Structure 1
């Protein structure tokens, strides 16, 4: 059950999409002075060495962050995200990839708070070592979905909840919907950002139907595909489901996705989607 390690996939096309969306939401939340909570239900190790055994074995980052690294035509909407990547790679080499907790840490303000959850026995100590000196952060080696009950609503009544489960088990597609329902009952004004992989399109269609059935409004789908849907093994696309997205996010991703498609999928076999699953 706990075999998944994000280190094999760090910096791939899915991470580029996920962390672009994450950073845009954070920057939008920062436009108001009132602090907010960043809650990460599946935080991972925090930092990934791209020259390490896991990343080198798959080489997925070579078709992700490596393709946009140091380009001079990166869209303005990606500047916050790329500023964090640059922070961890201050020389000319792309050595490290920051996961969602480190992106949040770099972008959040002094009064904002982070709550990071990770269950994997190897990744949690790595995550803990990254945040030992950060007083804004609370760490838990616990079930991420349980934290939606325990930590919501935040005292500030403002927050971003990032959900990035491994989808190792088929039940994960149902569990994320239940998790969102639990969180939404406690904190209906929060922004929820759920990452998903497209391995079998039918699983995603069912997950979207299940989300519609919750009665929750303002559900935006953002997707980047790198090859056509297939019944063969492997991820063909990935996406983000955002509940209560910032008002600018739809247009921002409509600006960014054509550029990402051109740069990350030069074969022309991919696709992009920005679609309201459930509108206002």
Structure 2
């Protein structure tokens, strides 16, 4: 696998993914009981926006760079911007926190995170980042295999009834990746059916995702919806026109938190023909 997220950190796809991620964690924190998060493709945890990889693509300029400082954002976007600002205490936008760092910042003392990263260099950086945080376990391993190995979650002698599994693969070979995602969801739901699940996916042409959505809707979950942001029309010849998050067993009222956030992101980050949508695949009984 040759993918390096440093080239894409802070782009429009990261913005959507992390707005949704933090909204899920905020919902989980409404109850005092502890929760567990499994991040299957965690990356290195923090990315310097001045690094060669980031400057080569400049994708953050049209993502977090365009959103940073926007006035009066909806609550879910405001919480995300505050989380990014917390990793930039000097006031300037110098670093971008990846999903494991955002999760750790949002967790309470009783919550736990298992962050998996297969690439040795990225996993080593992740281990250094969390070296002194006992709430976080870093696993240098395949994230799909971790679904079988680490679920249902146990830590400190406790089994967690609540939590989230974040699946955010690179989709280098999409024909192979979607079956792996679905297989992980099927097995994971058997092992930990009470969890919420969030899957990031790229949108190049939405019609190519129809079969993935059909199979996701057939999974044994009480509810499922899509939160999508396209920054340009999905028939654009550019490589990544947008992205989405598939939410399975989402926390109560998560859709209400995201409903005002999605059009705000569309207007802030989009070009002509941009769109956003929140679409239910399955509603609870």
| TM > 0.5 | yes
Q: Which runs of 4+ in 1 moved over 4 A?
A: none
Tell me which moved more, 69-78 or 37-46.
69-78
Q: Does 1:279 align with 2:265?
A: no
- 1:98, 1:38 → 2: CA distance? 17
* 1:178 Cα deviation from its structure 2 partner: 0.8
Partner of 1:128: 127
- 1:76, 1:261 → 2: CA distance? 16
The one of 183, 187, 193 aligned to 1:188:
193
Give per-residue Cα distances to partners, 1:156-214, cap 9 Å, x unaligned.
21111100000011210111011111100011110000000012434321211121233
SS of residue paired to 1:240 = strand
- 2:163, 2:203 → 1: CA distance? 27
Tell me which moved more, 32-41 or 69-78.
69-78
Give per-residue Cα distances to partners, 1:234-257, cap 9 Å, x unaligned.
011100000011122111111111
- 1:12, 1:231 → 2: CA distance? 17
Asked if 1 retains the 8 angstrom alpha-carbon contact of 2:41 and 2:116, the reply is: yes
SS of residue paired to 2:197 = strand
- 1:122, 1:164 → 2: CA distance? 18
Question: TM (normalized to structure 2)?
Answer: 0.94
The one of 165, 173, 179 aligned to 1:174:
179
- 2:135, 2:246 → 1: CA distance? 27
Q: Which 5+ residue runs of structure 2 have no aligned equivalent?
A: 154-158
Q: Which 5+ residue runs of structure 1 have no aligned equivalent?
A: none
Asked if 1 retains the 8 angstrom alpha-carbon contact of 2:85 and 2:91, the reply is: no
Q: Does 1:165 align with 2:169?
A: yes
- 1:205, 1:271 → 2: CA distance? 18
* 1:270 Cα deviation from its structure 2 partner: 0.7
Matches within 5 A, 1:152-231: 152-154=151-153, 155-169=159-173, 170-230=175-235
- 1:92, 1:132 → 2: CA distance? 26
- 1:193, 1:15 → 2: CA distance? 14
* 1:233 Cα deviation from its structure 2 partner: 4.7
